[in-house]
Structure 1
Amino acid sequence: MKLPVAMEDSQITPGAAPVSLGGLLAVLVFGAVCLGFHWLGKDGWVPLLDSANLALHEAGHPLVGMFSARATVYGGTLFQLVFPLAAAWHFRRADNAVGMAAALVWLGENLFNIARYMADARVQELPLVGSGDHDWTEIFGRWGVLHLDGRIASLTRGCGFLLMVGVVLWLYRRWRADSRSRFAGATKKSRLATETADTPPATTDRHDRSPSRDMPRITDDGNGFRAGPGHRSGRRD
């Protein structure tokens, strides 16, 4: 049995919110603005967004430090990564592709922010919040890679760029797939409506005849009434 058009369309992406052109453009602009500030801006700082990232960073130190004093230095960077990933997972569970893409762009921007901090490990020119030590100076010192701070920062920045570009391309492909699905659904509905309009109305069955047509004809032959063909007369000679 042929399923209704609406049911067939829903099986393409069950329960998923379709990607609109506006949602795609919003994520594209979001990513472009973030890259523009990091590449073209003097300080490589995205207003508002990096202020929120900084708040998460600073909150991460004492919260992680509650479980391990040695891990306190990692808490700031950990929170900068965990929160965007948690947001992406939330939107993934809700089947919201646009929300998930925006959260992953935010994660990519955080990688740019972290790379900026990494590259400052030796020169220590960036202003720090409070009077604490430089996180990546201590981390790279522990790992014995302090002299590679610039290379690691470049690698981290490259990962952020690839993530942001890959997410936008993925969302574009989802938008195209959803657009084709909507077009196919509209075509099916139009064809179904046309077929319904062209279907001729139901005709009366040839066996469904009026009872008057099946009754015998009564004629007068001068000797009394006689039934029509196929019936015997009621008069006896």
Structure 2
Amino acid sequence: MQCPKCHQPRQAQRPDCPHCGIYFSKYAQFLERQAAAAQAVIDGTADNESGVSRLWRYLLTPPDAGSGLWYGRAALWVLFVLWGGHFILQDIPSLAAAPSFLHNVDLVFHEAGHVLFGVFGSFIGSLGGSLGQLLMPLICAIALLRQRDTFGASLCLWWVGQNCLDIAPYMADARAGQLPLLGGNFGHSAPYGFHDWEYLLSETGLLAHDQGLALLCLNLGRLLMLLGLIWAGYLLWRSRPQLSHATD
């Protein structure tokens, strides 16, 4: 027989695994509790618990983690902490001057948003670019949550925040029109409506507040990135004991 966690051969009569250190009886109980809790959330059968409480408990339940997978997630978390710190410490001019390669990834969903929301008119079509950037990581997060991958969903929240940081410089550029736009144009020389945020803020009478709104978007993005990292770090901390004695 094999160990249910590390899949190494079990030794007869031993209550624990000599390779990963789990106790088989405790690990079996842990898996039963985890499966029951997750199923209760899905079925809505948790007793005396509100829907919000069930959702909160589900979001804070770590996904299954063998030792190799856990260390891989931990390494990924460290990478996102360092990468996120690089983003968070930048101000709007810095983000505008040196966009990361993620800007090109976000741009794909930005343009797709224009196409998808363009059927609802000029205003929603212009807003659709930024909506597309924000909706894509949210869609990914929902898909991962349906697979009970809360860790992956937490990194998608980080991505939502990064998209806010990607949007903020263009929001701040609404009046100045100095940033390059797709196709080689600039806001100050492009036809009215070509610069999304110049058009959106002009149409809503908020053009004079472009700097304040951009700062709000920037700080919202920073907050979401931090929340995503804290969520991911908590899930790693919760799942760490599974690698030793399979207790929660």
| Counterpart for residue 34 of structure 2 | 13
More off after superposition, 76-85 vs 17-26: 17-26
1:144 is displaced (CA, Å) by 1.6
Residue 118 (structure 2) pairs with residue 65 (structure 1): yes
| Counterpart for residue 146 of structure 1 | 207
Q: Is the 8 A contact 2:155 2:232 kept in 1?
A: no
Where structure 1 has 5 or more consecutive residues not aligned to the other structure, the ranges are 187-237
| Counterpart for residue 114 of structure 1 | 167
More off after superposition, 173-182 vs 50-59: 173-182
Distance 1:53 1:72 in 2: 17
1:54 is displaced (CA, Å) by 1.0
- Cα distance change on mapping 1:111 and 1:171 into 2, 3 Å: same
1:87 to 137, 140, 153: 140
- Cα distance change on mapping 1:179 and 1:31 into 2, 3 Å: closer
AA partner of residue 198 (structure 2)? T
Residue 82 of structure 2: SS of its match in structure 1? helix
1:34 is displaced (CA, Å) by 4.5
Q: For residues 1-237 of structure 1, what are the structure 2 equivalents within 5 Å?
A: 4-14=25-35, 16-18=63-65, 20-36=70-86, 39=90, 43-47=97-101, 49-130=102-183, 131=190, 133-185=194-246
AA partner of residue 85 (structure 1)? L
User: How high is the TM-score relative to the length of structure 1?
Assistant: 0.69
- Cα distance change on mapping 1:121 and 1:37 into 2, 3 Å: same
More off after superposition, 61-70 vs 144-153: 61-70
User: How high is the TM-score relative to the length of structure 2?
Assistant: 0.66
Residue 244 of structure 2: SS of its match in structure 1? helix
Aligned residues: 183
AA partner of residue 141 (structure 1)? S
Distance 1:26 1:84 in 2: 17
Distance 2:78 2:212 in 1: 28
Kindly provide the CA deviation profile for residues 33-69 of structure 1, in whole angstroms up to 9, marking residues without a partner as x: 254257266724111x110111211221122112334
Distance 2:125 2:216 in 1: 24
1:105 is displaced (CA, Å) by 1.3
1:32 is displaced (CA, Å) by 2.8
- Sequence identity, in percent? 28
Q: Is the 8 A contact 2:158 2:227 kept in 1?
A: no
CA RMSD of aligned residues (A): 2.4
1:184 is displaced (CA, Å) by 3.0
| Counterpart for residue 18 of structure 2 | none
Kindly provide the CA deviation profile for residues 133-170 of structure 1, in whole angstroms up to 9, marking residues without a partner as x: 21111111122221111111111111111111111112
1:11 is displaced (CA, Å) by 3.7
Kindly provide the CA deviation profile for residues 115-137 of structure 1, in whole angstroms up to 9, marking residues without a partner as x: 11111111111001135521111
AA partner of residue 45 (structure 1)? P
Where structure 2 has 5 or more consecutive residues not aligned to the other structure, the ranges are 1-23, 39-62, 184-189
Q: Is the 8 A contact 1:61 1:74 kept in 2?
A: yes
AA partner of residue 65 (structure 1)? G
